[in-house]
Amino acid sequence: MKPNVKIVKIGGNIINDKVLLNDVLNDFAYLEGPKILIHGGGKKATEVANLMGLEPKMINGRRVTDAKTLETVTMVYAGLLNKNIVAQLQSKQCNAIGLTGADANLIKAHQRIVNDIDYGFAGDIDQIESVVLGQFIQLNLVPVFCAITHNQQGQLLNTNADTIAAEIAAALAIQFQVELIYCFEKNGVLHSVLEDDSVIETIDGTKYLQLKKDKIIADGMLPKLENCFAALNKGVAKVLIGNPTIIKNRNQKYTTLTL
């Protein structure tokens, strides 16, 4: 029987709301057993970018990371947000350690290949150092990752936090029974995006294809679910999507994904 590990991803909307973030970190701190937190960015990066006179550059809804933007997200994600989350978790008796993919070479990535579009310093993940990550867990440390990786040649890279969560989950599936929990502003994958209560409670591979065909799942939800199914295919035991109250209990509706 493999030991359990829970991997929780929290998005920018949670980071943006101090009270909500504190509640979520409380729930996370009191989760029993080995666990890992992955956090997104939030509006602070945009605020700092504005102060620095940067114009956000988007192509097809994705941010282009030029050198100055990378500087900003490195400051905000790896500095301000990550270390404040770590300090808050420490105050809740949770022995957090803040990490980027460069630290201990934990997430090896490469700069996204330029085909039609140059996304700049955006990283695509090659490999997770799951042995070292497992050693941290054995030391009873709680890794807290921000969305920065590196290319092993000195270059930091801005990397999607959902993908980091899925890749870490997949890499740990050899050593651990992994539960991957995506928390965001909705109650789960919704049938109708305007009805908070229209949660689709289970989605398997076949249903996913149908929902995609029917355009019930679209836009930002698509890459999120692609990440989830990739993780399940690589041996992750369980993937849940819902609002952050699912960290603490499962009394409310949420979406469970299965193969």
Q: Which residues bind its own copies (CB under 8 A)?
A: 48, 51-53, 71, 74-80, 82-84, 86-88, 90-91, 95-100, 102-105, 132, 135, 139, 141, 148, 150, 152-156
- Least separation in angstroms between residue 214's CB and its own copies is 43
- Least separation in angstroms between residue 12's CB and its own copies is 17
Of 21 and 189, the one with the shorter C-beta distance to its own copies is 21
- Least separation in angstroms between residue 92's CB and its own copies is 8
Of 57 and 68, the one with the shorter C-beta distance to its own copies is 68
C-alpha distances out from residue 209 to 71, 137, 183, Å: 39, 36, 23
State whether residue 32 is helix, strand or coil: coil
List CB contacts of 170: < 8 A, sequence separation 6 or more.
Answer: 128, 230, 231, 234, 235, 236
Of 149 and 187, the one with the shorter C-beta distance to its own copies is 149
The length of the chain in residues reads 259
- Least separation in angstroms between residue 230's CB and its own copies is 26
End-to-end CA distance of the chain: 21
From the CB of residue 193, how many other CB atoms can be counted at a distance below 10 Å?
A: 13
C-alpha distances out from residue 104 to 1, 207, 221, Å: 28, 39, 31
Of 29 and 190, the one with the shorter C-beta distance to its own copies is 29
